[in-house]
Structure 1
Amino acid sequence: MDSWTAALWAAATFVWFGMVLAISFLETPLKFRAPGVTVPIGLGIGRLVFRALNAAEVVLGLVVVVAMTSGGHRRAPEILSVVALTALTVQLTVVRPQLRRRTERVLAGRSQQRSTAHLLYVALEVVKAPALLAAGVLLLAG
């Protein structure tokens, strides 16, 4: 793998990691502590923020896939990147639809119960973030 491809892969990985860290582990929990933020308001904001985050993740994931498929594979960063891509795929295809339906119910005033889908989403973030960090570090280490 040439150094430009490795640098692109590492950059996409670290940007992706930073976005997940900032949104999922900082903004989301803090949002509900802000004065005047009710559950419906927080969920409405979260829906917009996570839609944008997930769109950015898809773009960064595609950059990672292109870099991975350009030849000269590095096994450990490749495995870690696949872990992150798999976590994202499960979030987008399995968990987000469940969360979207729950959010619609809450915003319509029909449900206030906690969702196990939120716990699954967080668990996948806990898998994805360290995988991205480790992949990026290994890519930089050469």
Structure 2
Amino acid sequence: MDAPTAVLVAVSLVWLGMVLAISFLEAPLKFRAPNVTPQIGLGIGRLVFRALNAAEVLFAVVALVALVLFPPTGRIITSVLVAVGTLLVQLVAVRPRLSRRSDAVLAGRDAPRSRAHHAYIALEVAKVAALVLTGTWLLSA
């Protein structure tokens, strides 16, 4: 395996692991912990997801640079672009809606459950699928 492919494999699989660990383990579990109020859970969640998203942006940039400098096959390009595009939609379209709701809850106001949360989860599932495909295809090439 050449160095650019190894970098893309590492980026896609570490990115995948972070999304799985935070979005599908930490996020739902923190609200089940004893004495964690919705306000505390949201406060923690905002910090954790801000850090995750910062790491994801870095991974996306590295992946895009690798695609430009050392283009792999079409399906790998497509799967990387799906992961990056999904992240962009989450950051630009969904996160601002979730932030408005969490702002209201953190300010002590009742805020109805947001459909944006379901959209974010659906996008996370799509991103996970794209990252699994990217890693699998790169390792089998």
* TM-score, normalised relative to structure 2: 0.96
* Sequence identity (%): 54
Please list every run of 5 or more consecutive structure 2 residues that lacks an aligned counterpart in the other structure. Answer: none
Shift of 1:134: 1.0
Q: Distance in 2 between matches of 1:4 and 1:13?
A: 14
- Letter in structure 2 aligned against 1:70: L
Q: Distance in 2 between matches of 1:128 and 1:35?
A: 31
- Letter in structure 2 aligned against 1:109: G
**8 Å CA contact retained: 1:99, 1:118:** yes
| Corresponding residue for residue 76 of structure 2 | 77
| Corresponding residue for residue 46 of structure 2 | 47
| Corresponding residue for residue 106 of structure 1 | 105
**SS of residue in 2 equivalent to 1:78:** helix
* TM-score, normalised relative to structure 1: 0.96
Superposition CA RMSD, Å: 1.1
CA displacement 1:45-72 (0-9 Å, x = unmatched): 0000000000000000111001111134
Runs of 4+ residues over 4 Å off in structure 1: none
Q: Distance in 1 between matches of 2:5 and 2:70?
A: 11
Q: Which has the higher contact order (CA 8 A, sep 6+)?
A: 1
Q: Distance in 2 between matches of 1:71 and 1:11?
A: 15
Please list every run of 5 or more consecutive structure 1 residues that lacks an aligned counterpart in the other structure. Answer: none
- Letter in structure 1 aligned against 2:61: L
**8 Å CA contact retained: 1:102, 1:111:** no
